[in-house]
Amino acid sequence: MELKNKQILVIGAGIMGAGIVQIAAQSGHSVLLFDQKEGAAEQAIENIKKIFASLIKKEKLTETNAQDTLSRIQTITTINQASQVKLVIEAIIEKLDIKRTLFKELESIVAKDCVLATNTSSISVTAIANGLQNPERLVGMHFFNPVPLMKLVEVVSGLQTSSEVASDIYDLSTHWGKTPVHAKSTPGFIVNRIARPFYAEALALIQEQVSSIQVIDACIKSVGFRMGPFELMDLIGHDTNFAVTSSVFEAFFYDRRFTPSIVQKELVDGGLLGRKSGRGFYDYAEGAITPKLPEFHPSPLNNTRTVIIHGDNHLTAYFSNQLHQLEVPFTQEKESAWLGLEVDGFQLRQTDGQTATSLGSHVAVFDVCLQDQNKTVIAWAIAENSSTEWAQEAPSWLHHLGFKPIRIQDSPALIVARTLAMLINEACDAVTQGVCSKDATNQAMKLGVNYPAGPFEWLDKWRSTQVLQIINQLDLNYKGERYRSSPLLQRLNLL
């Protein structure tokens, strides 16, 4: 059924409901708004007026446009007044029994062809539909906060949702200027599930004291993320972030892949919730000092060494270009089993998941870099019993090749490789399980959490063999279920 320009009812006038009302009215719908709390709906409209006033000031909206839009919004005092609507979007409290009761009540008010959508972020759409007379018309319409700015809508189908209803909501979202993606109702849907390792790996690294929060954030940002995991968790709020992780963990029957972190739980228990409480991983008090990244003083370049480039990909092409510019003579072993540089028998290898310690005292490992390398902060590590000369020289080579090297404790897959491999692995699992397509995954992660690229776009740049190797090394190292490789990643590796 065509939903464009039809009358809509939004239930729940909180942060999400108000945003949904705004964009629906701006797209030309007549919108009814109901909230059980007295005055909440009116307050939401006041807030929309304030947003419009600021948009008018910035000349992004005309006065007439704002008035027209506001004239299409009407508050109601009982949902019985909404019998004619063709779509209901529910954005009330996140409680299964309350949502179920509301939808059952709605079925006795609206017509049979009225679509029922829920903005739930964590409850099974299948479960919300349980007990409805027409469960096929209930669908998830998962917006992201702030609704007017965030482009993504996850259109979530429960077991009984009809494909027609899901496709109507998909089309409507497009009409509203959003980018919808289809998802199957599974814990965390797409974004909240695939993003878990972004936080989990950073928290594990800090728990193992591999490096500092500043260094981990800097390394992750060096591959294009707008915020590092600690900055982002502080922004989201540790209570919220921990609750989402815990709910996904529980919903997957305590699959250890999703185990929450005691580091984060301590922060929650201590009320150190992030920006909103003034302190989380970082201190937001006025005048608080953020520690600087460690400085590295490189040794001068020694171009009398025997230098060999190992491997053949975009990184070694970059190395060879840089060495030419530095006038360092070198040879290349394109068929080598590892990627990096050999200098007089000492190795500087891009991590494949093995620790430097396990490779030997003549080896230093450095992290994966997918961006334009120049001036990229990059983590590197070396065995504790390595020679002091190589411990100074290895990062000096990284420096001369155009990186900003930062030493971290030796650990499998360092920082970026570990995080990206786990994000890719989780995305592969979601696709394996039919939760979403590869394209939907890429779109969802770029638009829902501002990732610089989608997991399958990273995979295109990075060979699946390398990703699988990293996951397998993590698995070997930690021996648990958390780092088990996805069947899809294994299959891609065989192609």
Q: Which residues bind ligand NAI (CB under 6 A)?
A: 11-17, 35-37, 40, 91-94, 98, 102, 119-121, 143-145
Considering the complex, state which of residue 189 and residue 390 has its C-beta at the smaller distance from ligand NAI.
189
Q: Where are the alpha helices (DSSP H) in 252-337?
A: 262-269, 314-325
90 has catalytic annotation: no
Whether the Cβ atoms of residue 197 and residue 423 lie closer than 8 Å to each other: yes
Distances (CA, A) of 187 to 142, 233, 257: 13, 20, 13
Calculate Rg over the CA atoms of the chain. 26
Bridging pattern class, strands 346-350 and 340-343: antiparallel
Burial class (CB in 10 A: 0-12, 13-18, 19+), 189: buried
Residue 416's contacts (CB-CB under 8 Å, 6 or more residues apart) are 219, 220, 222, 223, 367, 368, 369, 370, 379
Smallest gap, in angstroms, from Cβ of residue 495 to ligand NAI?
Answer: 37
Selecting among 119, 121, 124, 157, the annotated active-site residue is 121
Selecting among 192, 261, 411, 485, the annotated active-site residue is 192
Selecting among 27, 29, 90, 154, the annotated active-site residue is 154
Smallest gap, in angstroms, from Cβ of residue 91 to ligand NAI?
Answer: 4
Considering the complex, state which of residue 75 and residue 350 has its C-beta at the smaller distance from ligand NAI.
75
Considering the complex, state which of residue 14 and residue 148 has its C-beta at the smaller distance from ligand NAI.
14
Distance CA 405, CA 457 (A): 26
Smallest gap, in angstroms, from Cβ of residue 343 to ligand NAI?
Answer: 50
Selecting among 29, 142, 182, 310, the annotated active-site residue is 142
Considering the complex, state which of residue 179 and residue 477 has its C-beta at the smaller distance from ligand NAI.
179
Considering the complex, state which of residue 15 and residue 235 has its C-beta at the smaller distance from ligand NAI.
15
H or E, element range at 395: helix 388-400
Helix (H, G, I), strand (E, B) or coil at 205: helix
Smallest gap, in angstroms, from Cβ of residue 85 to ligand NAI?
Answer: 15
Distance CA 278, CA 469 (A): 41
80 has catalytic annotation: no
121 has catalytic annotation: yes
Whether the Cβ atoms of residue 406 and residue 458 lie closer than 8 Å to each other: no
Query: Is the CA virtual torsion 227, 231, 233, 235 positive or negative?
Result: negative
The residue nearest ligand NAI at its CB is 14
Smallest gap, in angstroms, from Cβ of residue 70 to ligand NAI?
Answer: 19
Considering the complex, state which of residue 47 and residue 322 has its C-beta at the smaller distance from ligand NAI.
47
Smallest gap, in angstroms, from Cβ of residue 143 to ligand NAI?
Answer: 6
Considering the complex, state which of residue 17 and residue 405 has its C-beta at the smaller distance from ligand NAI.
17
| C-alpha torsion 193→194→198→204, nearest 10 | 60
Smallest gap, in angstroms, from Cβ of residue 281 to ligand NAI?
Answer: 20
Q: In angstroms, how far is CA 178 from the centroid of its own chain?
A: 18
* Active site amino acids: 121, 142, 154, 192
